[in-house]
Structures are given as C-alpha cells and as structure tokens.
Amino acid sequence: MAAQKYANALPALKTIRKNFAADDLPSGFTLADLDALIRKAENNGLDPEDPSAKPNPDQHTADQLWAEVKDLEAQKKYDLAFQKCQEIQKLPAEVQPKDLDAKMKDLKVKWFTGG
C-alpha cells in the first residue's frame, strides 16, 4: 500500500522539482527536502542512504539563475534579467523552468517599453 502511494506521488514530485525554483517552495521546505522525497518515492517508500544520490548541479545553477532573474526583474533591470535567462537556456532542457520562453518574451517587451 505504501509503495503505491509513493509511486503515485513520484510524477507530481518530479513536476514540482522541474517547474519551481527554491524560492517558490513553501516556507521551511528546501530543494534538498524535495530531492529526498523524490529518492524515497523512486525506492517505493524505502529511505536508503545512497551516497551516489547527489543533487544535480545544473538544477542548482538553474534555480539560482531563475531567482536572480526574478530579483533583477523586480529591480526593473530587464536587460540583465534577460541575460540571466540566456544563461539558463545554455543548461540542459530538463532543468530549465517551463515558462522560460514566456519570461524572456515578457522581459523583451518590458525592456523595449520601459517596463
């Protein structure tokens, strides 16, 4: 029964991991917590200590850059935010936020119109 619960949760956990940055998670919940839940779900609810299960450095980089994009946009530094988006584009597709293209289009419009 517990194994099925984790199997059912795995797609949702992976979707959350792919589409949300660290600052989008609930207070007190970290990306490391989410990664641990994903590993646990992948192991049907077992929680083995796997030293080879390391966080994806590309995902960490993408999350950091995405947070910088949001900060720069809030500061109305649209050109710098756009440059950060371009850096994210160079990372593997599986770590890029799903709305990256839309954000880039929005930043271009804001930059050309002055916000």
Per-domain boundaries in the chain = 1-55, 56-115
Q: What is the largest CA-CA distance in the chain?
A: 56
Q: Is the pTM of this model over 0.85?
A: no
Quote the pLDDT of residue 93: 93
CB neighbour list of residue 40: distance below 8 Å, 6 or more residues apart: 6, 46, 47
pLDDT on residue 108: 93
* Tens of each residue's pLDDT in the chain, 115 residues: 556 676 777 777 777 777 877 777 777 777 777 777 777 777 766 555 554 556 788 998 999 999 999 999 999 999 999 999 999 999 999 999 999 999 999 999 999 898 7
Please state, in angstroms and rounded to a whole number, the distance separating the CA atoms of residues 23 and 41: 23
Radius of gyration of the chain (CA): 17
